[in-house]
Amino acid sequence: MQKEVRLFERILSVGSEEMLPPLQSLASAEWLDFWLNPRRLRGSDFLMRWSQGVWSENRMVQAIHQTGEYFAIPYGPSGVAPDDDIREAELYFERLEAAGLGQQKRPDLLVFEASARQEIHALLNDIGGWAELPFLAENETIIQSILGQAILAIECENSLWVGKQMPDYGAPLTPQRRLGGKPGLKKNAVLPTIILKEEDIQPLLTWQASHGIPIHIWHVFYDLAFGIALNEALRLIQEGLILPTEQVFQAPGGAVTQKSIYKIYHHYAYLVGEAIQEPELVAKYIQDKNGHILPYVHFEGGRMELMTDALNVLKTMRHDKS
């Protein structure tokens, strides 16, 4: 029987492609000899990816707010967990599991029309703020009231790449033998893609069907963001235009798992946003009880502006809701 992976370990797992080169080739993570609080010491990659994930969600929330027509709130557990203390984040997820909600899959963000702001904020104040959303069952009246106003749900992914500088950015799709002659790129092409984990597909579909709220996946890079509807991503997969890729993921506690993911070419996506102000890369560190210093890079600031395609998507969602 496979050992169940704790929520904190699952959320903070890092794909091999996103890890620093020295860690990619390790047969065993030697940094696990060090301890941080009651759990094993987290490597720089885990802290950096955690920081990047929170940063990317915040950029999307900010960009949506800047339209003046819409606003967004964090809804998934990772979006509202503490982002300035890795131990506090771990305790947050332990509390989430204790509440029996650790196995649920919820989209990261909910988007609303600006006209609903006062009502949504009043509902959030009644429960103690949006940080309490993951601890409430979705069949509760107050959550149903919030979901009833949402026009779009967003599953937010991110990558530590400058999209425009990736070697195959904008390269034309050509017939590929491995795709049965369908258009694509070479297997090892390096370009912006939207990542969809196979294990997330059914939970996201179930959530979308249960609440009648469309889910889109927005993938944020350092300089760009791309989006695609979940239903459109599934169509590409079902038609064989996008094949699964096996990727190794390593969790902070050292567990290594192999998962199937789908890398959807940005050619099939719409442009969500472009950076109009670059973030700062700030050096941070944590210190374990033995005095060991672990440095990592933290993203701060920066602004992204929603592009016409994304605004059109929101306009369509608003029209469909009405």
279-309 tens-digit pLDDT: 887 877 766 566 767 777 777 888 999 999 9
Q: pLDDT category, 54, cuts 50, 70, 90?
A: confident
pLDDT at 286: 67
- Is 189 within the bounds of a domain? yes
Which residue has better confidence, 28 or 43? 43
- Three-state secondary-structure class, residue 294: strand
Nearest to 269 by CA among 174, 204, 189, 173: 173
Pair 186, 178: CB distance under 8 Å: no
pTM of the model: 0.84
pLDDT at 7: 62
Q: Residue 144 has which token pair?
A: 């149903």
Q: Residue 160 has which token pair?
A: 């530590």
Q: pLDDT category, 214, cuts 50, 70, 90?
A: very high
Q: Which amino acid is present at 140? A: E
pLDDT at 102: 62
pLDDT over threshold 60, residue 56: yes
The residues pairing with 72 across neighbouring beta strands, listed in sequence order, are 111
Give the whole-angstrom CA distance, residue 189 versus residue 183: 13
- In this prediction, residues 57-82 reach a mean pLDDT of 87
- Is 1 within the bounds of a domain? no
Count of domains observed in the chain: 1
Q: Give the contacts of 253 (CB within 8 A, at least 6 positions apart).
A: 6, 9, 32, 39, 40
- In this prediction, residues 117-136 reach a mean pLDDT of 89
pLDDT at 28: 38
Give me the chain's average pLDDT, please: 82
Which residue has better confidence, 4 or 238? 238
Lowest-pLDDT choice from 6-20, 48-62, 78-92: 6-20
- Is 2 within the bounds of a domain? no
* Domain housing 205: 7-321
Whole-number Cα distances in Å, 15 to 19, 81, 198: 7, 21, 14
As a whole-number percent, the residues of the chain with pLDDT over 90 amount to 51
Q: pLDDT category, 212, cuts 50, 70, 90?
A: very high
pLDDT at 25: 39
pLDDT at 305: 96
Give the whole-angstrom CA distance, residue 216 versus residue 233: 9
As a whole-number percent, the residues of the chain with pLDDT over 70 amount to 75
pLDDT at 177: 94
- Is 218 within the bounds of a domain? yes
- In this prediction, residues 188-211 reach a mean pLDDT of 94
pLDDT over threshold 60, residue 29: no
Which residue has better confidence, 36 or 218? 218
